[in-house]
Amino acid sequence: MKSGLVATLVILASTSSWAETPILSDQFIRSINQKQSTWVAGRNFPENTPLEYLKRLNGALDPDPNHHVPLKVHRVIPEAIPTTFDARTNWPHCESIKSIRNQGNCGSCWAFGAASAITDRLCIATDGAVKFEFSAEDLVACCKTCGDGCDGGYTYDAWGYWVTDGIVSGGDYNSNRGCQPYSKSPFLDHVTPVCKRTCSNTNYGTPYSNDKHYGVSHYILEENESQIQMEILTNGPVEVSYTVYEDFYSYQSGVYQHTYGNKSGSHAVKVLGWGVEDGTPYWLVANSWGSDWGSLGGFFKILRGVNHCGIKRNVIAGERILLEVGKMGSSLVSILVILASTTSWAKTPILSDQFIRSINQKQSTWVAGRNFPEDTPLEYLKRLNGALDPDPQDRVPLKLHRVVPGAIPTTFDARTNWPHCESIKYIRDQGNCGSCWAFGTASAITDRLCIATGGAVKFEFSAENLLACCTECGNGCDGGKTYVAWNYWITHGVVSGGDYNSSRGCQPYSESAFINHITPTCQKTCSNTGYGTSYCKDRRFGASRYRLEQDESQIQMEILTNGPLEVSYNVYDDFYNYQSGVYQHTYGNYSGSHAVKVLGWGVEDGTPYWLIANSWGSDWGSLGGFFKILRGANHCGIKQLISCCTECGHGCQGGSSTRAWDYWVSDGIVLGGDCYTGKGCQPYSESAFENGVTPECDKTCSNADYETRYSEDKHYGASHYKIESDVSQIQAEILANGPVEGSFTVYDDFFAYQTGVYQYTYGDVAGAHAIKILGWGVENDTPYWLVANSWGENWGGLGGFFKILRGEDHCGIENNINAGEPKL
């Protein structure tokens, strides 16, 4: 860094009068060392270095919140993470990991972090066979979407540019290495170089276009220490950005933690390991300010475990995939990993010991315990639930069994009834992919083929084949439709294939889905080269598919007759902690819809249950991956989607106001007052009011004192319509027919509303809320809508009503207005 600095100072000397920069003074450095003992401060820059120069070194711009990329989560094996790790010694054949680059007088850290990490990962992935030094110059000059070149850039977009446009080779300033080495323009002059699609190094033997190396996709990871460690252990160094404070410029050695001075900017660097020094945990980081910065040769250590200075945010990396590219030989086509900055690195509350204790205290039919590490990202848990709602247009034939009284035993277990079919006893593992819909199908049809042939045919159907090739099923690792998966078996056939790393069958489950949450590419060949049958010959077809009546005896007769079947149900937060007993939803919110295989039923301590095979591995729960769930009450929608208006949404976890009005027209609604009022056929239940649990759909009056039958109490709408997002249209509707329903975006400050005309002032988005609009007016020259909330009359200072700014579609209040006419 110092050689570049001297040249820069000479250029600036004739234009600036230089005073001492206080943050580089001896007094400032002494103050740092007096205030703490984990790191040593010293001089890295001349005392009269301009503050503007120092700030310029920090060029990592905050990511665009609208930049959405898929999420990746590693399966963490705690014992596999060592106490200390250094990529330099772990991959000694990759000299690039040991190299410190120098960005000079340009805010191009975002490009250097990307180029450096990608360089390391290509070498690691090829076991040292390919040593290609990616050019920071190419990124700074040509990535126009990345930001402002020497005035800062977006790390996300740098990796995205590698995917879409590719990056050529190029070393540091004055190195003459590669196609586009770093130039004088950024290094000395702080001028973003002009993008040139030619090699500036005339001695380089490969043309610019042929020198390009590309990535194929990118995704994000939750912010979690073990996730970063697993990523580095698996694939090599990653890029991160963090907040730089004024004391950091004077770092020499030890474990840095902010001690003194103001925020100076955001800086991007490469993380290559971790360890513990004198009891203080740290990340090992490569800076890009030259090898003479600090006393560790340009590297530094920063406090680990508390997201210090935001060091765990915006972590970007790439994963090995090799591809033959023309005559270029093996070139890394890398998958990016971008660790999002949207969540804090805290423990997941629904996996906490307190949450588990609360579950066990509230009920006695099942036992909760730990199945996932406490810091497992919530997004990972939700991803396990990949059953999409069926398309109402998908008309699946209904099958009705003739139920013979006495033919259904009290207890039934397909594992013991068909002992020659070992597949029924087997628990599969979907890994890091929302492919439960494919696993439920593949597992059930595997069992059924064995049962139908008396054990003569033991053919393990491939979940990978369904996941990759059934494009009409849905979104692969982001969820699919069980009905369509069964239809694909009939129309296209499914080949054989076991679990990840099993090497069983034509298409075993792949790393792409199991580890990386990437839907595998559909290939009409056997990925298992040791399998002796061709893809086409290996396919097995189904003859028919059908659905069953939502009736317990119909489900039991089907299992008794033909074997296990697939169902989907609602997963709530407490379910992740299931260990044993008969599960029934006790505590927590709706988390998603999950597909599983039902193989039997029974009664435990007087509680009837369904016996089910999950697809989260045999180490989930204490029943070897199986579980029991309450039978006879359609619990969690195990026989149907919860609540009567199934198309409305997810009950207490949210729904569609538009579809609620449609339900009034098509199905009618009975009368019912607030909780504890005893009014009408179905007053609001304690289940919903007190516990946040969606009540079961019951086609009878819950109010025993109400004299009208449920069916006779139905009141219907004649029509439902939307009102244009126009103030006068909304006003005309209210004048003519009365109040309307609207919805708006709620921000944090709204919860504290008392009086006046609300308009958003402060806080984050908290959700979307539906309300009733009943009028309008003007208060102190501010136009408003008069609105009735549904949080009780004690909320706010207007008896549960509130006023919100009118005429500007504030918070979307005028954007989604529903109304209708009653059927008289």
**261 conformational bin, left if phi > 0, alpha if psi -120 to 50, beta if neither:** left
With beta carbons less than 8 A apart as the criterion, state whether 308 and 257 touch: yes
Token pair for 446: 């595997």
Task: Classify the phi-psi angles of 692: left when phi > 0, otherwise alpha if psi is within -120 to 50, otherwise beta.
Answer: left
Q: Are 697 and 648 in contact (CB under 8 A)?
A: no
Residue 715 bridge partners (DSSP): 669
How far is residue 464 CA from its own chain's centroid?
21
**Which amino acid does the sequence have at 348?**
T
Scan for tokens 């099942």, then name that residue.
366
What residue has token string 């006893």? 425
Look-up: residue for tokens 């290939």?
523
Considering the candidates 58, 201, 287, 516, report the single residue annotated as catalytic: 287
Instruction: Identify which of 184, 186, 271 has the alpha carbon closest to the alpha carbon of residue 236.
Output: 271
What are the b/e assignments for 230-243, b being 16+ CB within 10 Å?
A: bbbbebbbbbbbbb
Q: Is 109 a catalytic residue?
A: yes
Phi and psi for 595 in degrees, rounded to 5? Answer: -105, 135
d(CA 45, CA 514): 49
Which residue among 267, 308, 401, 585 is the active-site one? Answer: 267
The token pair at 762 is 């402060």
d(CA 462, CA 443): 9
User: Cα separation of 146 and 154, whole Å?
Assistant: 5
Active-site residue flag, 287: yes
DSSP string covering 541-578: --S---EE-S-HHHHHHHHHHH--EEEEEEEEGGGGGE
Among residues 109, 450, 526, 648, which one is catalytic? 109
Please give the Cα distance from 500 to 463 (Å, whole number).
10
Closest residue by Cα to residue 694 from 636, 638, 639, 648:
636
What is the β-pairing status of strands 85-86 and 263-277? antiparallel
Nearest CA to 716 out of 822, 804, 820 is that of 822
- Report the b/e string of 174-185 with b at 16+ CB within 10 A: eeebbbbbbbeb
> Quick one: the chain helix, strand, coil %, rounded to 5?
30, 25, 45
Q: Which of 572, 562, 633 is closest to 597 using CA atoms?
A: 562
Phi and psi at 784, nearest 5°, equal -145, 160
Q: How many CB atoms lie within 10 A of CB 534?
A: 13
Q: Which of 676, 624, 651 is nearest to 570 (CA)?
A: 651
Residues 6 or more apart in contact with residue 227 via CB below 8 angstroms: 73, 74, 76, 221, 339, 377
Tell which residue, 637, 743, 647, has the closest CA to residue 694. Answer: 637
- Pairing type for strands 299-303 and 251-256 reads parallel
Residue 58 annotated as catalytic? no
CB contact set of 136 (below 8 Å; sequence gap of 6+): 101, 103, 108, 111, 112, 114, 115, 116, 170, 182
The residue count of the chain comes to 824
CA distance 493 to 524: 12
Longest CA–CA separation in the chain, Å: 101
Alpha-carbon distance 126 to 320, whole Å? 8
Catalytic residues: 109, 267, 287
